[in-house]
Structure formats: C-alpha cells, structure tokens
Amino acid sequence: MSITHCQFPTRRQFLGYAGLSFVSVGALAPRMFAQVAAESAAADRNDHTLVAIELTGGNDGLNTLIPFENALYYANRRTLGIPKENVHRLSDQVGLHPAMEPLAELFKQGKLAVVQGVGYPEPDRSHFRSMEIWHTASTDKRPPTTGWLGRVVDSLTSAKNEDAIPGLAFTGALPQAFQAAKAVIPVVGELETFAGAENTDQPGIAIRRKLSTASSQAGGPVAFLRNQSAVVYRTVDRLKEAQAKYKSTIEYPGSSLGSQLKRAAQILAGDLGVRVLYASQDGYDTHSGQEGQHAAILGDLSQSIEAFDRDMAGLGLADKVTLLVFSEFGRRVDENASAGTDHGAASCVLVAGAKVKGGVYGEYPSLEKLGEGDLIYTTDFRSVYATLLDQWLGCPSGKILGSEFAGIGLL
C-alpha cells in the first residue's frame, strides 16, 4: 500500500472509477466498508491519548543515552564525553545524561522505555528533509501531503463530530505531522492569540465571527472558512472550560515545554476527547558550546515530563496517556572543533507512561562501523510509530504508515 500521493479524485473521476470497478469489487464493497467502519469505531472506543514531544534541531543521542563502557565513545568525545561515574545507569552498558535524573527515576519505576539506534535508511542531514520524513512517516522523494498524526485524526469517526477535538498542537504553527486531509486540527498558540484579538474591534475578527455562523449550505471557499472558523470558536470556548476544571498543585518548570505540558494536563483533565497532542522543545542544534546547553535542555525535558507524569497520576489519568519523545536526527560521533557536534543520523527515542513496559529496547549502533561518520540506525522509526498506533491508539498501522513495520513490545 502506498500513501505517497494523497490526491482526492473529482466527483466525475470518482464516478468513472466506481463504474469501472463495480463488477470487480461489487461483492467485496460491503465487507470493505464494514471493515473500515469497524476499525474507525474501534479506534473511537479507545480513549488513549498520545502526547508527542519533538526535540527540534537534532538531539545528540550519543550524549543522551551514553555507552559508558565503550572506549570509542570517549575517544570521539574528548571534551564532551560524560564521565562514567556521572551517568544514570540503565544497564551494564548504557545510561542517561546526568541532567536526566527525573527520567532515570521514571525508568526505575518501569515507566520509561528507551529505544536505541532509531533512524531510517539513507539518512538526510537536512533539518527540513529529515523532519519531513519523520512527520510524514515516509522516505519517498515525493512525500505524502498529510502527516502520520493527521491521518490518525482523519481515521477517527469522532473527527466528524463537530464538538470533538481529536487533536491539538502547542507549536507556533501546525506541525507537518498534523497535516490532515479532512480534519481541522487547531494550534493552541494561534487560538490564544485569536481569543485575545476577539475582544478588539479588528474588522477581520468580526468577519470571521460572521463566517462561523454562515449557512451550512454554502460551498467552496466559504464552506472551508466557515468550517475553520467554527472549529476555532468551539475550541477556544472548550479550552476555557477545561482550564476552569483543572485542579492541580503540581509545579511545572517555567519553560516553554513545561508550559506546554501543563496546558496538555489542563486539556486532558477537561475531558475534551483529545486523542493526540503535540508539543516541542527547541535548542538541540548544538554545533558549538554543547556541554552546558545540552545539559540545560535535557534537564528541562526530564523535569517537565516528570511533572506531567505526577500530574496525570493525581488526576487519575495516568493509565490513559503515553508520551513519545523524538528528534529529526542525532549528531555526528566525533565532536567538532567548537566543542559541539554536527548533524548526524541515528539517535534514541523515549516512550513514557504508566502503561509502558520500562526498559532498553533495540540494539545500540556500532561506534566502530559508521556510516560517513554517523551512527547507523538499527531500528526504523516507523516501528516505534507502528507500536503506538497498533498497541496504544488502536489504529491499524499498515493503513496509517502505508506499509507494515514490526512493532516493539514496549506497551
């Protein structure tokens, strides 16, 4: 199955296809439609939520999950190498960065899975292209026009319910992973800006309010704008309701990521039916002066996730939420002359939550056999996606990803 070209036929084309294929698939059509309906209904009955956290810039996996018994690690990381005694050990061979103590504690509690050597074939060191691959779940030169999480939202029958908010992003703009063919997925930052502007006399706001109540019989651009405007107003109102319901004493870090995860907790506590949330943390493009910068953002990441985990437990939602932490690529094995690291390939992925089977998964890439100075991936990132789709969200991974990928037993 291919998802490379997600173009929808015109009505005339559709009728032509239907006429040509009626004889060949007529007997199978009821079964096919029934199967699709059953799969969508099953996904809707699943009340699990996935929170994806993107580490933008390319996280140095080698200094996140440290192979402290490997002499080649210290030979290549002459100034950036983390001393063995400072590592939070996860096994006899690997451990987490010293700044990640909160996540090391989650690992001890069995609530953190670390997947080693995650990447994809023929890695691309461009931020844009590599993130495009991760967001669309495709290595094709002509990627799909939708993102993998956008396809998840499109597959949910609840997405057709006007009151449902199946997906929300906390990023500045809609992530490519959330690009959908049918669903409108709001971005919280844009909603807050819009809500603040709504109290002004801006002409555009009045027009948009009028559009949101336009006749449902309108077509073309008016229908599109009406749908988007209606989603904006419904979402703003429901977010306000969720914030009012949220009662928690958990202190989150005052960082951007901490604020995003606190807002995620508010939304989940409000029971808005959200199935996928998207957050991001900047600062991982560490070409120079990496040591202090990397420690600071890994510490913030760990503290934010730990606060969110405690919040979910206090709200009675821990069994319903899983977090995915990923980055577009890792860094090169050899540090550069500016006490930093340049764009690389394979890295590690984190999956956290009360229903996660904690442990270290996959094979650590060889530091002896490299691909143009980079770690060679041992686990395809789509195997991680397939695991979350099949075992957590209840969506058939083959249909979302366009191909079958072996899952990992981390849930």
For the stretch 113-167, pLDDT in tens is 999 999 999 999 999 999 999 999 999 999 999 999 999 999 986 655 666 788 9
Residue from 183, 148, 181, 145 nearest 166 by CA: 183
The rounded distance, in Å, linking the Cα atoms of 28 and 135 is 33
- Sheet strands (E) in 249-346: 276-281, 321-327
Residue 225 DSSP SS3: helix
- What are the pLDDT digits (tens) for 48-84? 999 999 999 999 999 999 999 999 999 999 999 999 9
312 neighbors 335 (Cβ within 8 angstroms): no
The ranges assigned to domains in the chain are 49-188+250-401
The domain made up of 49-188+250-401 has a fold known as: Alkaline Phosphatase, subunit A (3.40.720)
Pair type for strands 276-281 and 347-352: unpaired
Judge whether 323 and 313 are in contact, CB under 8 Å. Answer: no
Looking only at the bridges linking them, the beta strands covering 49-55 and 276-281 are: parallel
Beta pairing partners, 280: 54
How many whole angstroms separate alpha carbon 52 and alpha carbon 33?
31
- For residue 224, give every residue at least 6 positions away whose Cβ sits within 8 Å of its Cβ, in sequence order, or none: none
Owner of token pair 């074939």: 121
CA distances from 187 to 47, 153, 175, 228, 411 (A): 21, 14, 9, 12, 29
Asked if residue 330 lies in contact with residue 374, where contact means CB atoms within 8 angstroms, the answer is yes
Q: How far apart are CA 118 and CA 241, in angstroms?
A: 39
Q: What is the residue-level pLDDT of the chain in tens, covering all 411 positions?
A: 444 333 333 333 333 333 333 333 344 444 434 444 455 455 556 789 999 999 999 999 999 999 999 999 999 999 999 999 999 999 999 999 999 999 999 999 999 999 999 999 999 999 999 999 999 999 999 999 999 999 999 998 665 566 678 899 999 889 999 999 988 898 887 555 544 444 444 444 444 444 344 444 545 444 544 455 556 667 777 788 778 888 899 999 999 999 999 999 999 998 888 999 999 999 999 999 999 999 999 999 999 999 999 999 999 999 999 999 999 999 999 999 999 999 999 999 999 999 999 999 999 999 999 999 999 999 999 999 999 999 999 999 999 999 999 999 999
